[in-house]
Amino acid sequence: MPVALKTGEVLRGRYRICERIGQGGMGNIYLADDLRLEGRRCALKEVEHDRTVPAKLLKEARQQFLHEATVLARLDHPNLPKVSDYFSIGPRDYLVMDYIPGKDLRLRMLDAKQSNFFLAEEEVLSWANQLADALTYLHNQTPPLVHRDVKPSNLKITPNGMLKLVDFGLVKALVPDEMTVTVIQGRGTALYTPLEQYGGDGAHTDVRSDIYAFGCTLYHLLTNNPPTDARERFLHPSSLPEPRTLNPVISSRTERAVLWAMELHPDDRPPSIEDLRKFLIGTRELPPRPLGSIRPKNSLLQLIRGKPEKILLWVSVGLLVISLVASLIP
């Protein structure tokens, strides 16, 4: 874990550290005063790369961070914090963005759970509509950007009711050869991570990975219960309770849309956030349930007949699951 910066420390003669407001395996997030713009507070995302890797790879990682930071700095959307600066000091890189005050949706959901009630479906869907706006904007960039860490704690509601999708820590740009380039290496949060995102390089992730996390986020907010993670669902397909068994007030349409977004196989999910939004808010009819029946029971045979890259993806997933099971056997 990188050593935290001290309160009062000034970076680049401009950003004075107020406090640490988040931390992770590769760095910290700080609240800072912008000394050049009086009264402005910002969030500094710190990244310290693994210095045990070969020098060439470390250089490439830092060049990659700076390149992707320029991409993020060009983004301008009301549901995204604005990235205003990026720089390096010694072995650490920094991304400067708007500080978003207010509670995140994880805390709001926990407050509701502790008070023995559920967040109102209408309110959750209004947040979902704003989140869909942000993700559609990211996915429509050239090249498309995939957030890869959509979850309740990365969604904040400002005092005026605006939703903000924060933390660009794992954003990836899909380049023309369909490989992905990482801003900051990571895998996301297990509860909201689809199977195809496991493996580290993220070569098989695309916009449908954000759709899966979007569905898991709505599931958690509507039921006060975390979704079963994808690996457990792969091993035990019936391990995910349907939302209305946990919160009977949820509409059938919302339940079906959420479960559609959470399909394990990317091809079974909505092809875009806009498609999901149309089903979720009721402007288009949903596909018939059970949605899993879209993929017949002989899906293994279909997979064998499919594209080589899909075969490799699901073989790698199978090997990952086998290795996880083996590691648990004494």
Residue 121 has pLDDT above 50, yes or no: yes
Residue 293 has what pLDDT? 42
Residue 17 has pLDDT above 90, yes or no: yes
| HEC assignment per residue over the chain | CCCCCCCCCEECCCEEEEEEEEEECCEEEEEEEECCCCCCEEEEEEEECCCCCCHHHHHHHHHHHHHHHHHHHCCCCCCCCCEEEEEEECCEEEEEEECCCCCEHHHHHHHHHHCCCCCCHHHHHHHHHHHHHHHHHHHCCCCCEECCCCCHHHEEECCCCCEEECCCCCCEEECCCCCEEECCCCCCCHHHCCHHHCCCCCCCCCHHHHHHHHHHHHHHHHHCCCCCCHHHHHHCCCCCCCHHHHCCCCCHHHHHHHHHHCCCCHHHCCCCHHHHHHHHCCCCCCCCCCHHHHCCCCHHHHHHCCCHHHHHHHHHHHHHHHHHHHHHCC
CA distance 91 to 62: 9
CATH no. of 105-328 = 1.10.510.10
Among 29-33, 127-131, 269-273, 318-322, name the one with the lowest average pLDDT.
318-322
Contact indicator for 196, 178 with CB cutoff of 8 Å: no
Residue 90 has what pLDDT? 85
Among 93, 104, 133, 149, the active-site one is 149
Q: How many CB atoms lie within 10 A of CB 95?
A: 25
Residue 157 has what pLDDT? 94
Q: Calculate the alpha carbon distances from 316 to 1, 31, 149, 227 in Å.
A: 30, 40, 22, 23
Residue 201 has pLDDT above 80, yes or no: no
CA distance 62 to 329: 39
Q: Where in the chain are all domains bearing CATH 1.10.510.10?
A: 105-328
Task: Name the superfamily (CATH) of residues 10-98.
Answer: Phosphorylase Kinase; domain 1 (3.30.200.20)
Single-letter amino acid code for the residue at 252: S
∠135-136-141 over CA atoms, to 5°?
100
pLDDT tens for each residue of 268-325: 999 999 999 999 987 666 555 544 444 444 444 444 444 555 556 665 666 665 665 5
Retrieve residue 322's tokens. 């086998």
- Average pLDDT (130-151) is 92
Instruction: Please report which confidence band the pLDDT of residue 12 belongs to, taking 50, 70 and 90 as the band edges.
Output: very high
Q: Where in the chain are all domains bearing CATH 3.30.200.20?
A: 10-98
- How many CA atoms lie within 13 Å of 196's alpha carbon, on the beta-carbon side? 25
Q: How many CB atoms lie within 10 A of CB 183?
A: 25
pLDDT tens for each residue of 34-71: 999 999 999 999 988 777 778 888 888 888 888 888 88
Residue 119 has pLDDT above 80, yes or no: yes
Residue 35 has what pLDDT? 97
CA distance 147 to 166: 10
Residue 166 has what pLDDT? 87
- Average pLDDT (12-41) is 90
Residue 54 has what pLDDT? 85
Pick the closest to residue 237 from 269, 220, 259, 215 (CA basis).
259
- Average pLDDT (127-152) is 93
Residue 122 has what pLDDT? 96
Pairwise pLDDT comparison (202 vs 120), residue with the higher score: 120
Residue 186 has what pLDDT? 42
Single-letter amino acid code for the residue at 101: P
pLDDT tens for each residue of 169-191: 555 665 443 333 333 334 457 88
- Average pLDDT (232-252) is 95
- Average pLDDT (22-27) is 73
Residue 72 has what pLDDT? 87
Contact indicator for 277, 271 with CB cutoff of 8 Å: no
Residue 248 has what pLDDT? 97
Retrieve residue 93's tokens. 């890189």
Is residue 149 annotated as a catalytic residue, yes or no?
yes
Pick the closest to residue 34 from 121, 107, 96, 100 (CA basis).
96
Residue 68 has what pLDDT? 80
Pairwise pLDDT comparison (165 vs 318), residue with the higher score: 165
Look over the chain and give the mean of its residue pLDDT values, rounded to a whole number: 82
Residue 330 has pLDDT above 80, yes or no: no
